[in-house]
Amino acid sequence: MTETDPREYDVVVVGAGPVGENVADRTRAAGLATAIVESELVGGECSYWACMPSKALLRPAITRADARRTPGVMGGLSDALDVRAVLAHRDAYASHWEDDGQRRWVEGIGADLYRGHGRLAGPLVVEVTGADDERHTLTARNAVAVCTGSRALLPDLPGLAEARPWTSREATSATSAPERLIVVGGGVVAVEMATAWQALGSRVTLLVRGDGLLRRMEPFAGELLAESLAEAGVDIRTGAAVVSVSRAHGTVVAVTDAGDRFEADEILFATGRAPRTDDLGLETVGLEPGSWLRVDDTLRVPDRDWLYAVGDVNHRALLTHQGKYQARIAGDAIAARAAGPTPGRAVGEVPTAVADRGAVPQVIFSDPEAASVGLSLAEAEKAGHRVRAVDVDLSTVAGAGLFREGYRGQARMVVDLDDETLRGVTFVGPGVGELLHSATVAVAGRVPIGRLWHAVPSYPTLSEVWLRLLETYRDD
């Protein structure tokens, strides 16, 4: 073991994914000496095993689906994607699982990078164990920011470990398409990976414990996605809880609670996430190892004025863009508290993260896409709001038929009847992901219906759905 001299910084960031990078970028911009600790690749889950590689796998599938329904193009397409080319494109977007570019970025902002496993060793102290058991003790003068993210959560099932299941990491980095793939789950990862690998030639069976897909969105989202996946060839089984898994001679067998057996070459479990806090040293500061870290709106852990938990690890919104949003808030909050009172600003006047409560946008990059922001109708009613749902068939919008022949889709806005602002918006249909930011602005800004009438959508685009939603609200 090599012991180095203790190092002191203003801020120590544990985790160098997009969230940790953004915290460090903000604290460095404020002139605070900052160290970043990373045990894997700088750039994190999103860059190498989630956002980037998954969307690189999905884009060819969606482009082909659009082209197949575009007059003048649809007759001249091959039925099969070029799997080798798609995987090579994916590899490029994952930077071939090398982080040289991200490492140079960290150096460029003037932060110090420590490669190794970081653990808290008491208030404001982080111990880093690197290669060859090299150790560093980092002390923070102002703050430690935990940005370690989350990991795939595997259920405790007989035979699962021996069956060597895929998680989201294996699903986005596989080097070939399995002939047969079982996907267990009905959420975002399950839907996206079923879409991608079915398009790449796998015969996909989707085993869903509940009675439908995307249960956290409006019901029509899961219904339209299920119809499309079934048409593409995915075998969807709802009410199918997997109770055991085994692998023998290269074949995986999943058995459900109904006694049904399903065979495949690989099995992907997309059944939730867990915080990466089990070996973080939380016990040294009075917190429970393996727990999600509760925070206030400045992303600070209560009763520990030096500790921040940012991104997935706080369980507020497990989305990369929300984590980066939180990171900007947290970095600015750390900087403001470190600076103390300044002219025009008292101690304690720091930025707060408010979007996590009512204006979280999400896109599922399937075919069709599903996109939502804010509350669903059921969520708004449960929260006690007096609301009304306004629905429009997206195929009635002029731009829909131009976008894709036989366009199918649905839009809903949830209107707060007390102040006539939007509590939530959901779109399902090809290309609707690009509509979502307009909805996010409307929900986050609490833009009154009366003002939305003056945001005139261009004709003929999918955005004209806004005019149809407003007309339906007025006329009903």
CA distance 317 to 107: 29
CA distance 209 to 212: 8
CA distance 148 to 168: 17
Q: Is it the case that residue 216 has pLDDT exceeding 50?
A: yes
Q: What is the pTM of this model?
A: 0.94
CA distance 171 to 276: 20
Between 224 and 77, name the one with better pLDDT.
Answer: 224
Q: Is it the case that residue 374 has pLDDT exceeding 50?
A: yes
Sign of CA dihedral 3, 109, 31, 146: negative
Residue count of the chain, please give it.
Answer: 476
Return the pLDDT at 1: 42
Residue pLDDT, tens place only, 297-313: 999 999 999 999 999 99
* Contact status, residue 389 vs residue 383, Cβ threshold 8 Å: no
Residue pLDDT, tens place only, 166-207: 999 999 999 999 999 999 999 999 999 999 999 999 999 999
| Helix and strand counts by DSSP (H, E) for the chain | 15, 22
Q: Is it the case that residue 2 has pLDDT exceeding 60?
A: no
User: What is the mean pLDDT of the segment spanning 349-353?
Assistant: 88
Burial of 258 (0-12, 13-18, 19+ CB in 10 A): exposed
pLDDT interval class at 4 (50, 70, 90): low
Tokens encoding 268: 């992907």
Output the CA angle 450-453-455, nearest 5 degrees.
120
pLDDT interval class at 340 (50, 70, 90): confident
| Complete domains list, the chain, with CATH | 2-43+99-151+275-355 (3.50.50.60), 152-271 (3.50.50.60), 368-475 (3.30.390.30)
Residue pLDDT, tens place only, 58-77: 999 999 999 988 888 776 67
